[in-house]
């Protein structure tokens, strides 16, 4: 059995956002947006050149603006856009759900959670995977919520025991 307490503050919230951004699902979305934007940028640049060659200045300017937009998406816009969406969703959540003290007890049955808003036990089948991000161990629920554990706050034996429990009950995700 491993016991762990954490005060979820801005640092932990930022780590959780980074984990969400690094997930396979979001990486695939960014790759798709970048690929599509690459094709659209070429099409819009050709369109812009043709408009200017045919003295359609207004359409050419619109084409140029779209070209710049697609190039921005290629460079880093997809990542920027996803970060903005995550920040908006996070800002709309109740502060009680995104901050405060949490106490976790990991054992063979699952994870017992105690916080300011309640207590409960999540059996291992309530989780889908676990992983390591920087010095944190995260455990992802089937609802895509996360348990966050700073390995620096645990003893070496507790880290080994926790990783053993997680490996026995969940698949490991790599980011």
Pick left, alpha or beta for residue 55 (phi over 0 → left; psi -120 to 50 → alpha; otherwise beta). Answer: left
Domain residue ranges of the chain, discontinuous segments joined by +: 1-6+98-170, 13-92
DSSP 52-90: HHTT-HHHHHHHHHHHHHHHHIIIIIHHHHHHHHHHHHH
Note the maximum CA span of the chain: 75
Q: What is the pLDDT of residue 126?
A: 93
Q: Is the pLDDT of residue 98 over 70?
A: no
Residue for token pair 């989780």: 127
What pLDDT digit, counting tens, does each position of 54-82 carry? 999 999 999 999 999 999 999 988 889 89
Query: How far lies 59's CA from each of 46, 47, 56, in Å?
Result: 12, 9, 6
At the second CATH level, the architecture of 1-6+98-170 is Roll (2.30)
The pair of structure tokens assigned to 153 is 């706050």
What pLDDT digit, counting tens, does each position of 119-167 carry? 889 999 999 999 999 999 999 999 888 889 999 999 999 999 999 999 9
How far apart are alpha carbons 79 and 13 in whole angstroms? Answer: 18
Q: Give this prediction's pTM.
A: 0.72
Q: Is the pLDDT of residue 96 over 70?
A: no
Pick left, alpha or beta for residue 60 (phi over 0 → left; psi -120 to 50 → alpha; otherwise beta). Answer: alpha
Q: Is the pLDDT of residue 95 over 90?
A: no
């Amino acid at each position: 059995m491993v016991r762990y307490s954490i005060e979820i503050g801005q640092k932990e919230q930022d780590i959780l956002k980074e984990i969400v951004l690094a997930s396979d699902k979001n990486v695939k979305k960014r790759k798709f947006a970048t690929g599509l934007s690459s094709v659209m940028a070429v099409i819009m640049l050709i369109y812009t050149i043709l408009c200017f060659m045919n003295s359609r200045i207004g359409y050419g300017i619109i084409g140029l603006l779209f070209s710049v937009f697609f190039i921005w998406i290629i460079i880093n816009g997809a990542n920027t856009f996803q970060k903005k969406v995550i920040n908006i969703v996070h800002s709309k959540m109740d502060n009680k759900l995104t901050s405060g003290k949490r106490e976790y007890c990991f054992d063979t049955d699952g994870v017992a959670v105690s916080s300011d808003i309640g207590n409960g036990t999540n059996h291992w089948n309530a989780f889908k995977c676990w992983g390591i991000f920087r010095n944190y161990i995260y455990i992802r629920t089937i609802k895509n919520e996360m348990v966050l554990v700073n390995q620096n706050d645990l003893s070496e034996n507790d880290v080994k025991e926790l990783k053993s429990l997680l490996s026995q009950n969940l698949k490991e995700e790599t980011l």
